[in-house]
């Protein structure tokens, strides 16, 4: 009897350890990102033209492997204004005529266009060599289980510091991003939390609108990695809704 009891205890310990190992297993960050990119559109990110409207601006984002051309158009006081960024360049037009802008305005337009493109290309944007991916465990939000992937950026000598930080909440079954936290390592008050909604697939690419939330208290009092918990317990206020309209996708080549 004692002999069988010993065997039972050993077997119980073995399976308990295996189960605990499953729960605490570290997911490879690069593989997780790859699966997430595939769930959102995969290689379509590399060779597509994405058009959409955001507020009063119309955007067209074109990528052809390593080449890109991003365009932002708005009609203002019967004047058609167009700003364009492409492989590090910038151009500005009014009613089709090219205009020279100050360095400040050129920088403002460039940042606006590139920031919009960056959001549209999440999660593919995080596949670049300067992005540092770190798996930081699992979380449960609104009853659903998520992988948490943290993104920071490598620093290069002679270039401005890139202190951006992102956390993605990725559905453990679908590999779709449902929540995103955005901030800067040097700005403890600048934390934002986004909840994806109105998901739709258009020609194989997944797009979402977002509800943006702020914390009710000073955000520096809340650890960046705990913003999901704050959202889960209702400790955040909805600040804005990000809506993309008239989305269309075309293939390049």
Range of weakest confidence among 99-103, 190-194, 248-252: 190-194
Query: Of 100, 121, 142, which marks where a domain is finished?
Result: 121
Look at residues 121, 141, 160 and tell me which one is the last residue of a structural domain.
121
H or E element that contains 3: helix 2-24
- Compute the distance between CA of residue 31 and CA of residue 165 in angstroms, rounded to an integer: 20
User: How many structural domains are present in the chain?
Assistant: 2
- Do 81 and 187 fall within a single domain? no
Same domain (yes/no): 70, 170: no
CA angle 27, 31, 37 (to 5 degrees): 125
Q: Which helix (H) or strand (E) holds 113?
A: helix 103-120
- Please give the average per-residue pLDDT across 162-175, as a whole number: 94
227 shares a domain with 149: yes
236/205 same-domain check = yes
- Provide mean pLDDT across the span 152-163: 84
Q: Which tokens hold the place of 44? A: 């379509």
Q: In the predicted model, is pLDDT for residue 245 greater than 90? A: yes
The whole-angstrom distance between residue 8's C-alpha and the CA centroid of its chain comes to: 48
- Give the closest residue to 113 by CA, choosing from 172, 160, 52: 52
CA atoms of 191 and 200, how far apart (whole Å): 27
Please check whether residue 181 lies inside any domain of the structure. Answer: yes
The per-residue pLDDT for range 185-198, each reduced to its tens digit, is 777 667 889 999 99
At residue 68, the pLDDT reads 95
192's torsion region: left (phi>0), alpha (psi -120 to 50) or beta?
A: beta
Asked, for residue 195, whether it belongs to a domain, the answer is yes
Q: Do 137 and 176 reside in the same domain of the chain?
A: yes
Residue 10, pLDDT above cutoff 50:
no
pLDDT of 88 higher than 90: no
The verdict on 168 and 185 lying in the same domain is: yes
Assess whether pLDDT exceeds 90 at residue 47: yes
Domain boundaries, position 53: 45-121
Q: What is the DSSP string of 77-92?
A: TTEEEEEEEETTEEEE
Give the CA dihedral 103, 59, 209, 109, nearest 10 degrees. Answer: 10
Of 103, 121, 139, which closes a domain?
121
SS (H, E, C) 178-229: EEEEEEECCEEEEEEEEEEEEEEEECCEEEEEEEEEEECCCHHHCCHHHHHH
Residue 7 included in any domain: no
Looking at the fold, whether 149 and 55 belong to one and the same domain comes out as no
Pair 73, 147 in one domain = no
Give the span between the Cα atoms of 121 and 39, in whole angstroms.
13
pLDDT at 218: 56
Do 115 and 211 share a structural domain?
no
For residue 30, being part of any structural domain is answered with no
> Do 50 and 147 lie in a common domain?
no
């Amino acid at each position: 009897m004692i002999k069988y009891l010993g065997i039972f205890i050993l077997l119980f310990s073995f399976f308990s350890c295996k189960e605990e190992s499953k729960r605490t297993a570290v997911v490879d960050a690069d593989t997780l990102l790859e699966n997430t990119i595939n769930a959102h559109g995969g290689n379509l990110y590399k060779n597509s033209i994405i058009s959409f409207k955001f507020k009063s601006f119309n955007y067209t984002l074109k990528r052809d492997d390593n080449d890109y051309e991003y365009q932002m158009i708005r009609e203002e006081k019967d004047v058609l204004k167009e700003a364009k960024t492409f492989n590090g360049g910038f151009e500005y037009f009014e009613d089709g005529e090219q205009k020279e802008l100050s360095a400040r305005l050129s920088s403002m337009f460039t940042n606006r266009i590139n920031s919009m493109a960056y959001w549209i290309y999440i999660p593919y944007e995080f596949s670049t060599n300067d992005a540092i991916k770190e798996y930081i465990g699992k979380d449960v939000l609104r009853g659903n289980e998520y992988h948490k992937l943290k993104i920071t950026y490598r620093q290069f000598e002679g270039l401005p510091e890139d202190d951006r930080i992102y956390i993605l909440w990725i559905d453990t079954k679908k590999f779709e991003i449902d929540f995103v936290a955005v901030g800067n390592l040097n700005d403890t008050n600048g934390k934002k939390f986004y909840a994806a909604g109105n998901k739709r697939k258009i020609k194989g690419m997944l797009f979402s609108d977002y509800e943006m939330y702020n914390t009710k208290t000073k955000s520096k009092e809340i650890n960046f990695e705990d913003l999901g918990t704050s959202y889960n317990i209702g400790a955040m206020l909805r600040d804005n809704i990000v809506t993309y309209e008239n989305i269309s996708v075309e293939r390049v080549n």
